[in-house]
C-alpha cells in the first residue's frame, strides 16, 4: 500500500528555484558594486623576479624528478605483481 492511502496528508508542492549565474556575486551586486572591470597588476624588482623564477624552476625540477621516481616505482610494482601472478599460476 502506498503512503497516500495510509495517510490523508496532501502531497508536497515542488517549487522550481532559479539558478544563480556562474561567477555572479549577488551580494555585491545588491549593493551596487560591479567588480567586472577590476584589474590587478603586480610589480616586482628585477632581483625579486629573478629569485622567484629561480625558486619556481627548482621546485619544478624537484616535482619532475619525484614524478619520474614515482613512475619507476609504479612500473616495478606492476612487473612484480605480474610476476607474482605468473608464479601463482605455476
Percent pLDDT > 90 in the chain is 49
**Predicted pLDDT of residue 47:** 94
- pLDDT reading at 10 higher than 70: yes
* Cα–Cα distance, 37 to 34 (Å, whole number): 7
**Predicted pLDDT of residue 79:** 97
DSSP classification of residue 23: T
User: What does the block give as the cell for 65?
Assistant: 624528478
More confident residue, 37 or 4: 37
pLDDT in tens, 36-79: 788 888 898 999 999 999 999 999 999 999 999 999 999 999 99
Q: What values do phi and psi take at 45, rounded to 5?
A: -65, 150
- pLDDT reading at 23 higher than 80: no
* Cα–Cα distance, 35 to 29 (Å, whole number): 9
**Predicted pLDDT of residue 77:** 97
pTM flag (> 0.75): no
* Cα–Cα distance, 90 to 84 (Å, whole number): 10
* Cα–Cα distance, 15 to 17 (Å, whole number): 6
Amino acid at each position: 500500500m502506498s503512503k497516500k492511502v495510509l495517510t490523508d496528508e496532501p502531497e508536497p508542492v515542488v517549487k522550481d528555484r532559479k539558478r544563480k549565474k556562474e561567477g555572479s556575486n549577488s551580494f555585491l551586486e545588491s549593493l551596487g558594486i560591479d567588480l567586472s572591470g577590476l584589474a590587478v597588476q603586480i610589480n616586482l624588482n628585477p632581483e625579486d623576479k629573478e629569485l622567484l623564477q629561480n625558486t619556481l624552476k627548482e621546485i619544478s625540477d624537484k616535482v619532475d624528478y619525484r614524478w619520474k621516481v614515482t613512475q619507476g616505482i609504479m612500473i616495478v610494482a606492476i612487473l612484480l605483481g605480474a610476476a607474482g601472478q605468473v608464479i601463482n599460476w605455476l
